[in-house]
Structure 1
């Protein structure tokens, strides 16, 4: 038998890796200096990634080190990799904000609770890493990322992208990094060049080698270090001298694994079984491995040959020399042997301590269908989903379906797996599981639910124009089976068609959906707010604004009563749109504030972009542009953090109201194609409405007319198209298109008159004034001002003062005009609505009044992030609260605040209010 010797290749003796080591040295130096760095080390199997990570750890003197390794057989266990990395830090949980700490406890099964939002988990991990680094710089090393469970990858990359000033270094190593790593700094590890490969080979040879054989080995191993080392360990000097080499053209990863497989085959039978057992256990728990080994009658002496061969070591953890050794040990075994070791591991796993891993091992041990194990996997899926491990839940359910012989159970379990995969963000896999479900035996209700899921997948994956038709078919199918679910699905369909609007596919347009929804069976209980939203919207679309109005107003009155936080979150965006639709400015403000508050408090960060967008629009109409700007900054951070595909409507409207044409135009162009591609028809209307506001503010009325006509040519977009009618009346009267203005006013009155709110009637009076002359016009302007003064829509009030002042000037009543224009000018200036302020300023100049622009200087130029943090600190938020809002750590907040204080020449947060202007420019009367 060939004598095998272990590899002793110290990381500090790396061959030909000076450049790579320099990168790692700089990373450690930067972390020690108080900054954070992230690096993704990528390269083919055996090229030396793990050796470089070992080098990094050796160089990290004075730093704490946390390590985790992805394990292929553990990929379906949610947060397994994350737990490896942060388990030593969990003692710091109590120092995190309560929602973040609770999210981690739930994810790790420490406590029970609602499934945590993965973005909230990311913030929690960011906080843990930052807290650990306060004591000592921290280096986190994650090897074999390609085998990390997806939940851990998502959370770790989320946290890594937000590290800045925490003294934390995070280094991932992977063959081919997942998409989650896109844009992160990379270090690509190439094979050694010929000279370095030869030097490595020479360093491990124990006898002289024929130069031609040496060159052949260097050539055929292609400079992959592990291939060189594995080959020289496997072959005797005599075999090497005889010219044995790798088969020509063999893929190097396969060659390395085959090399290990041959070495494993040379080991004693019991040692091979022990290697297989260890390979099947992802935990590296020596007690568990030996408990299972006893069940297989594997003696403890079986570990010695594996250790002598340098393949496996038993210590605090069971560690393979290289992941390919694990892979080779597992792949080289027979199917029956694999079943045996998984069965032994299942028997050695305490069902009360780790029922999910026990069920998983049992599933891998069974050769065919097994209903008992399938039942256990279903229970494991429920626990995984409760912890927020949706990908793990889907994997358990998928395997459960595969082990199911009964066709009814197969259909049910596959449908559940499809739903879990959809929630985990894997639409293609979800559709595959739906196909499996339809191949089983489904009840009529389950078949209707497959239709529903197809529609939900289409809506969530950006196929907005397709979703209404699919959801409508599901709703119709559900009617005779489950009235409550049918009504809920009709409401989902109306929500989907609200987004799709003019871009809905045939059969799923607003009229189709509304007619079907109106015919839906009544609820079996007293109607609650969602029921009334359904009935009110259906009545509106079928019978007109006045028919749906009282039902929708009642829905707003009942909204929130006896509703859970989860149900509120689900429908708050619709409640907010409804308030806008019925011109209820008070409820609009309350509901949008509640939406943001609830999304933050519950950690539903994936809901936050939509909530913030609604709130920004509400604040803009209230004239709170500074608040809207802060929320826009938060929205930008939330969108980047969550990967939301929501178009930046908030930023667009903010730019429009401010009069920033270049910024608004860039946002329009950036998102136009995406809006059309995803079939979001309401985006077409909203974008055109924003452009109309922009150009009316700038006094570019021909352009405003074109935009306003586009915004109002599809009246079925609730809320948005009606408010844009006011822009159309203004632009049309200013360009002499009186027929267009009159028609727009008539359409506006159809909704403002039934509404009867001060906002609605104030806008109605203002637009009627634009079409009137002499005394009727003045009376209408005064009525509009009186009504709008009683509302929170200060932007509308300021615009009315401006229009009234312009009318007075044209009537040659300069003194009266100045009073109105000055009021408008001061309102716009205090808001930061510069486009409208400039328009008012021009009108004031025309009355003979002198105006000038003054600039408020600061002691230094703040970056966008510094200004954002400074505003939040000025408003009284603590560092942890600011960090949560902006998806950064409290330590990074403090780092930026120190720079803010230096630039502004202040020493405390209390002074921020004195030196921060709400807007950098203002216009004042001389």
Structure 2
């Protein structure tokens, strides 16, 4: 269902010059290839729809337009707004949003698309979250997203989108000015004197809909009267009711029925609810007011109010008994899902049958993942049920569902009712979850412990207690309390017959707790008993466990296996499995590809992760993604972009305050300093991390430590470097990490600095023999480079020196590590060996999206595979590829693979 626009509303449009100019700039940007989001806020009647209609009417002919509108009566129907675009939804809003991105991209066929979503404040939560996924991708597509809402109605992260105004415009509609009111009067054919315009402006407060209504309903003589107030009530509601009062009884009855239904409804159904025998005649009278519209081209001739203000004014004026009668009639005439709301509104006291129906509908909706709707049904049931204890449990279950659905604010509104419930595991669990969401970890722990005491007992308290153990495990491992996390997880998993999600949460807590106490390698060993199969064989339901395994693989230094895990997990998550973890999967994969030397693909995944979390408060991911991008750009000598991401990473880390975010940012700062060949800065940034090695978390990678040792040696701090080599060896053994090649390489570097070339040469030989594909590329290439330098300095070893330098050169060149590559080539040149001119790997004339497409083409992916990687349509890939060919002056994919990016 949707609300249609006022007929010919653009004829009444006046003013809004500044707003139109700002939106016009966004239209121009989209025409030029850059996506934009425009969010129009305003009070009811301020002219949001009129402004959007005016913008859409003036769009260039190349734009494809897609529209939808939220409906208050469908706010509890998951994906109701998305279904208007042809998206049925799925297992997750994230997946549905990505489907919509692909649909819009395909609809545009490479050209610009305008997407209108009206009344966001009434949209169902699943559609709002899915649209957020669209917003995060808009900057990479030729899409203009126009959203309208009332002020203060910014749910689910929408408000935070505009903390970063890049590519986003927020338009807040205020009142019309006096000149605008005079212009609207002229549009209505009324040449009012200035005194009358001023009075009309003062009387209406400049509210666009109010002005239009008065101009429509009053005569020129009434509007231009020389003095006194206008001869109508001051409120728009009174104006509407006064107009309706003059209609025939059947028309008033039909209007009342439409106000109760709330949305668009077939005319015969509306007539049945209104008890009007001839609804067509009644509708004809209503249409003359302009308050109601219909669609005569459809067989059922659906009708509804043209503006929510009209509906609200009439509904508020209905007497309580008449309102209940109409709700009862609506419940008898509408489908079962819609009827529930009307049955509740019609209830006049206790109705246990209705409460039971609501309980059953809540269970069915919760089983389908519509937790918010289920919570609403339970709260309704608590208001009509007769059993006080059962009503308390309904309130507690509703609060729990809201918390599990991420609707913390709505759940917090129930706090007093929750606290007033009798003691029990469910009450303790909900209070613990509320405390945890408020970062009050101490009371949260106490509540979870209290709730968990019934673990293993009879249902339903046994299931609640099991959930409490899962929350306890998560609380413990996020605080680094590994042993306690393992104990909680072990108790949980010992219960058996657990729901799938709860069982997986238990394994996640068990693995994370093991990592916190014994390192990521030990956690992988433990997880292997639950997830032994290779990545490609893991079922969709276990996608979140696969992401955990890939993350642990990153920290355990098992780069190759972890890359396979995360690539497989992303493929599963694209189709809804563990879609909420997609940003982490892309972020972690970018970091792994950075180590493996696949820097082009790492850029793609880092940018994808950033786009998936843009606007959300996931600063812990933000810090790591920006850090990865800083390392990638710094490693390629793109200093300005690197510095921008370092600044963003530092800001996110400061806000997050987690060890992971802070350490990752420091590692990125050191990596950029290393690329700049500034060992002093590397030591300054990383030395605090080893000031007390007992404080280094067990569940962390130590891949940054060899870089610190290298910088100490290059800075002449040899004794300090020797001490750090031993500390690193101990720390790696404690965590089960294979860092032998890098440790032996550090010893070789130290021996060379001490003037012991024979010992250094032997150590380099051993280090290179120990190297594996899991060792970071820069460390592998650096080993060969330093060994080549040592051999060259000894004399008589030119061939061996050149061989090592060439290996280093090829490794650096494969990643596009320009600063490191230049230093190796300078050493080769000193031996009379020159290298042919290199092509540009990342031509500056390409946009980020075009670079991503070019990178994936260079990897050998088809356009269809690229579309899946980037969450766009194949037509969009075709469009971008055409631009790439034109900009680079090439004609084939082979040229792109062979010359530009390789």
Q: TM-score range by the shorter chain?
A: 0.7 to 0.9
Deviation at 1:774, TM superposition (A): 5.6
Corresponding position: 1:14 with 2:8: no
Q: Which among 879, 882, 897 is matched to residue 898 of structure 1? A: 882
* CA displacement 1:81-117 (0-9 Å, x = unmatched): 333x33xxx4xxxxxxxxxxxxx33x3xxxxxxx532
Matches within 5 A, 1:618-767: 618-640=592-614, 644-645=618-619, 646-647=621-622, 648=625, 649-655=627-633, 657-658=635-636, 662-712=640-690, 713=692, 715-720=695-700, 722-753=702-733, 759-767=738-746
Pick closer, same or farther for the CA change 1:860–1:573 going to 2, 3 Å: closer
2:494 aligns with: 523
Contact residue 490 and residue 534 of structure 1 kept, 8 A? no
2:459 aligns with: none
Deviation at 1:750, TM superposition (A): 2.8
Pick closer, same or farther for the CA change 1:442–1:835 going to 2, 3 Å: farther
Pick closer, same or farther for the CA change 1:298–1:13 going to 2, 3 Å: closer
How far, CA to CA, are the matches of 2:226 and 2:380 in structure 1? Answer: 49
Corresponding position: 1:176 with 2:151: yes
Corresponding position: 1:417 with 2:392: no
Pick closer, same or farther for the CA change 1:484–1:812 going to 2, 3 Å: farther
1:922 aligns with: none
2:101 aligns with: 126
Matches within 5 A, 1:64-213: 67-83=67-83, 85-86=84-85, 90=86, 104-105=87-88, 107=89, 115-132=90-107, 141-156=116-131, 158-159=133-134, 162=137, 171-176=146-151, 178-179=153-154, 180=158, 182=162, 183=165, 184-185=168-169, 191-194=175-178, 197-198=181-182, 200-201=184-185
How far, CA to CA, are the matches of 1:218 and 1:128 in structure 2? Answer: 45
2:358 aligns with: 377
How far, CA to CA, are the matches of 1:447 and 1:408 in structure 2? Answer: 12
Pick closer, same or farther for the CA change 1:434–1:387 going to 2, 3 Å: same
Deviation at 1:347, TM superposition (A): 0.8
Deviation at 1:635, TM superposition (A): 2.8
* CA displacement 1:627-675 (0-9 Å, x = unmatched): 2223223333333387754121432342454465554443233232432
Q: Which among 414, 417, 436 is matched to residue 436 of structure 1? A: 417
How far, CA to CA, are the matches of 2:470 and 2:757 in structure 1? Answer: 48
Contact residue 44 and residue 308 of structure 2 kept, 8 A? no
Contact residue 346 and residue 357 of structure 1 kept, 8 A? yes
Deviation at 1:345, TM superposition (A): 0.7
How far, CA to CA, are the matches of 2:54 and 2:604 in structure 1? Answer: 44
1:335 aligns with: 320
Q: Which among 530, 544, 550 is matched to residue 570 of structure 1? A: 544
Q: How many residues align?
A: 858
* CA displacement 1:393-427 (0-9 Å, x = unmatched): 44334434444553443343333333443354432
1:259 aligns with: 239
Deviation at 1:875, TM superposition (A): 3.1
How far, CA to CA, are the matches of 1:489 and 1:905 in structure 2? Answer: 61
Contact residue 360 and residue 377 of structure 1 kept, 8 A? no
How far, CA to CA, are the matches of 1:510 and 1:418 in structure 2? Answer: 28
Deviation at 1:279, TM superposition (A): 1.2
Pick closer, same or farther for the CA change 1:36–1:628 going to 2, 3 Å: closer
Deviation at 1:827, TM superposition (A): 1.8
Query: What TM-score does the superposition give when structure 1 sets the normalisation length?
Result: 0.79
Contact residue 486 and residue 509 of structure 2 kept, 8 A? no
* CA displacement 1:504-543 (0-9 Å, x = unmatched): xxxx55378468659958725699998677567656655x
Matches within 5 A, 1:219-298: 219-231=202-214, 241=225, 243=227, 245=229, 255-267=235-247, 270-287=250-267, 289-290=269-270, 292-293=272-273
Q: Which among 510, 531, 547 is matched to residue 481 of structure 2? A: 510
Matches within 5 A, 1:348-367: 348-350=333-335, 355-367=336-348
Deviation at 1:343, TM superposition (A): 1.4
* CA displacement 1:141-176 (0-9 Å, x = unmatched): 544444343433444465467568999766444443
How far, CA to CA, are the matches of 1:839 and 1:28 in structure 2? Answer: 46
Deviation at 1:805, TM superposition (A): 3.6
1:323 aligns with: 308
How far, CA to CA, are the matches of 1:660 and 1:472 in structure 2? Answer: 50
* CA displacement 1:218-247 (0-9 Å, x = unmatched): 442344453244335555788665856359
Deviation at 1:680, TM superposition (A): 1.6
Deviation at 1:255, TM superposition (A): 1.8
Deviation at 1:568, TM superposition (A): 2.6
How far, CA to CA, are the matches of 2:415 and 2:892 in structure 1? Answer: 59
Higher mean C-alpha displacement, 617-626 vs 235-244: 235-244
How far, CA to CA, are the matches of 1:736 and 1:400 in structure 2? Answer: 74
Query: What TM-score does the superposition give when structure 2 sets the normalisation length?
Result: 0.81
How far, CA to CA, are the matches of 1:370 and 1:453 in structure 2? Answer: 31
Contact residue 448 and residue 472 of structure 2 kept, 8 A? no
Matches within 5 A, 1:767-916: 767-772=746-751, 773=756, 775-789=758-772, 791=774, 793-808=776-791, 815=798, 816-841=800-825, 848=831, 854-857=837-840, 861-916=845-900
Contact residue 343 and residue 354 of structure 2 kept, 8 A? yes
How far, CA to CA, are the matches of 2:679 and 2:658 in structure 1? Answer: 27
* CA displacement 1:276-332 (0-9 Å, x = unmatched): 210121341224633642658897654454344443345422132432211111111
2:565 aligns with: 591
How far, CA to CA, are the matches of 1:487 and 1:780 in structure 2? Answer: 54
How far, CA to CA, are the matches of 1:688 and 1:31 in structure 2? Answer: 37
Contact residue 273 and residue 333 of structure 2 kept, 8 A? no
Deviation at 1:349, TM superposition (A): 1.6
Pick closer, same or farther for the CA change 1:725–1:636 going to 2, 3 Å: same
Contact residue 98 and residue 871 of structure 2 kept, 8 A? yes
Deviation at 1:786, TM superposition (A): 1.1
Secondary structure (helix, strand or coil) at the match of 2:241 reads helix
Deviation at 1:867, TM superposition (A): 1.7
Higher mean C-alpha displacement, 733-742 vs 167-176: 167-176
Contact residue 134 and residue 166 of structure 1 kept, 8 A? no
* CA displacement 1:552-573 (0-9 Å, x = unmatched): 4243364255997465333334
